[in-house]
Chain A
């Protein structure tokens, strides 16, 4: 049995303090300890990308990060994307409009990968989009509608400016 560690993690702007075993994965911490089940776990060894969250603003795979490593850091999950309960994030809206999801299991990971991508690269080419989402697996859409969604979100973002 290993010791327990106090961690203080800011998730979607709210600070949470818990006592955890060091072997607790960040993905399980978010889902089980905080009840934030929007972060999905697929492969649990860093291949499928479903568990992607933002760690200090950068997308990372929460299934290959320990909860103790998040102590003192800021995490954003898919629950933190929409501006309010009645609204969607512009990228979520584009996914909805372009049919960028079918079963939806992989969607939180795609969103958390692509939101910072669009912030850094607001006018991406299709190739850049395909490379950006290469670390996320989707078994329904064949990716085409996901690429369309990102292109739409980028176009709308340009219009808004």
Chain B
């Protein structure tokens, strides 16, 4: 047997799951898709007393339009469903473009949106996308719930705002602004492996803009360059009011990669190389996002 022994419960309603967590929170681990948790158990890096399996909670698996025109995603929605759903492509094209970058097909068939977010791996794609799209997460516990923004949710390496008795149950994405372009870029050693560096870019043009309309707001969020998703706010601010031309893009890429990230090196990439990749990918992402925004394929 690879994992150390544990007790197992698979509640068949959300309320029942929250009751179990209220009783055992500190000693329990929540099993969603298991694509990160079970490897950790196999290595015995974690030895929880109890595994609370959410896979019977069909009520947490949904993708639907929110009342505000945005997108609502249940925490147990699998990556594969996000990848295939036409509503995701329409309401959150940045998310749709990114999902095929999440690991390999076998992993996407099991892994869940909520699981990836709650795991908070800084090399994972979904946390960065959630920050870039200004997502909010619904955290629920027995007898209470609260909404937390993605920016407040990710607190450190594998560390989130979740309390032991809380579950992330739903993800809310705001409606997509008009005249907005997006792009996700990533470098990995092999398609589907953890990113060496990745970046999500979104740019919104002035609404009364002509075809060369100026940039009203830009967002740049990186993965694999820090302890959490890293948003480059100064670089994004440099882009506001510009024509998103080569000079503006170069300046933003320079600022983001030099001043706004602190990547640690690993066996595949030194910190300097990661900064270099971040600079190059920022340029690609901004050019692609600007082009989409101008083309009105928003």
Which residues of A approach B to under 8 Å, CB–CB?
1-3, 5, 21-25, 28, 44-46, 49, 52, 55, 58-61, 63-66, 68-69, 113, 117, 130-132, 134-135
On chain A, the residues within 8 Å of B42 by CB distance are 25, 44-45, 63-64
Report the nearest B residue to A56, measured CB to CB: B109
User: Which residues of chain B from 35 to 84 have any CB-CB distance to chain A below 8 Å in the complex?
Assistant: 35, 38-39, 41-43, 51, 53, 55, 80
Contact partner of B2 (CB less than 8 A), chosen from A2, A25, A58, is A25
Q: Is the CB of B38 within 8 A of A66?
A: yes
Given A46-B35, A46-B39, A65-B110: A2 touches B190 (CB 8 Å cut-off): no
Q: Is the CB of B107 within 8 A of A135?
A: yes
Q: Is the CB of B109 within 8 A of A58?
A: yes
Does B88 sit within 8 A of A, measured CB to CB?
no
Q: Is the CB of A5 within 8 A of B104?
A: no
On chain A, the residues within 8 Å of B5 by CB distance are 1-2, 21, 23
On chain A, the residues within 8 Å of B3 by CB distance are 23, 25
Per the bound structure, the CA–CA distance linking A61 and B108 in Å amounts to 11
Per the bound structure, the CA–CA distance linking A24 and B197 in Å amounts to 35
Does B266 sit within 8 A of A, measured CB to CB?
no
Give me 18 other A-B pairs in contact (C-beta within 8 A), A2-B8, A45-B42, A135-B107 excluded: A1-B5, A2-B6, A2-B7, A21-B5, A23-B4, A23-B41, A24-B1, A25-B2, A44-B2, A44-B42, A45-B39, A46-B35, A49-B104, A58-B109, A60-B109, A65-B38, A113-B105, A134-B190
Q: Is the CB of A55 within 8 A of B109?
A: yes
Given A5-B8, A55-B109: A46 touches B38 (CB 8 Å cut-off): yes
Interface residue total, chain B, C-beta cutoff 8 A = 31
Per the bound structure, the CA–CA distance linking A49 and B8 in Å amounts to 26
Given A22-B8, A44-B42: A64 touches B35 (CB 8 Å cut-off): yes
Given A60-B110, A68-B8, A68-B10: A135 touches B1 (CB 8 Å cut-off): no
On chain B, the residues within 8 Å of A55 by CB distance are 109-110
Report the nearest B residue to A5, measured CB to CB: B8
Contact partner of B38 (CB less than 8 A), chosen from A21, A64, A130, A134, is A64
B35 to chain A, nearest CB (A): 6
On chain B, the residues within 8 Å of A23 by CB distance are 1-6, 41
Per the bound structure, the CA–CA distance linking A49 and B43 in Å amounts to 17
B163 to chain A, nearest CB (A): 25
Q: Can you sample 13 A-B contacts with CB below 8 Å?
A: A21-B5, A22-B51, A23-B2, A24-B1, A28-B2, A49-B104, A59-B105, A64-B35, A65-B110, A66-B38, A69-B53, A69-B55, A131-B192
Given A21-B1, A69-B53: A58 touches B80 (CB 8 Å cut-off): yes
Given A23-B5, A44-B2, A46-B39: A60 touches B106 (CB 8 Å cut-off): yes
Contact partner of A64 (CB less than 8 A), chosen from B34, B53, B191, B192, is B34
Q: Is the CB of B7 within 8 A of A135?
A: no
Q: Is the CB of A135 within 8 A of B192?
A: yes
Does B103 sit within 8 A of A, measured CB to CB?
yes
Q: Is the CB of A134 within 8 A of B191?
A: yes
Report the nearest A residue to B38, measured CB to CB: A64
Given A59-B106, A134-B191, A135-B192: A64 touches B7 (CB 8 Å cut-off): no
The 0/1 profile, CB within 8 Å of A marked 1, for residues 189-211 of chain B is: 01110000000000000000000
Report the nearest A residue to B34, measured CB to CB: A64
On chain A, the residues within 8 Å of B8 by CB distance are 2-3, 5, 22, 66, 68
On chain B, the residues within 8 Å of A132 by CB distance are 105
B97 to chain A, nearest CB (A): 15
On chain B, the residues within 8 Å of A63 by CB distance are 38, 42
Q: Is the CB of A134 within 8 A of B104?
A: yes
Residue of B31, B35, B39, B103 ringed by the most chain A CB atoms within 10 A: B39
Q: Is the CB of B4 within 8 A of A66?
A: no
On chain B, the residues within 8 Å of A44 by CB distance are 2, 42
The 0/1 profile, CB within 8 Å of A marked 1, for residues 7-47 of chain B is: 11010000000000000000000010011001101110000
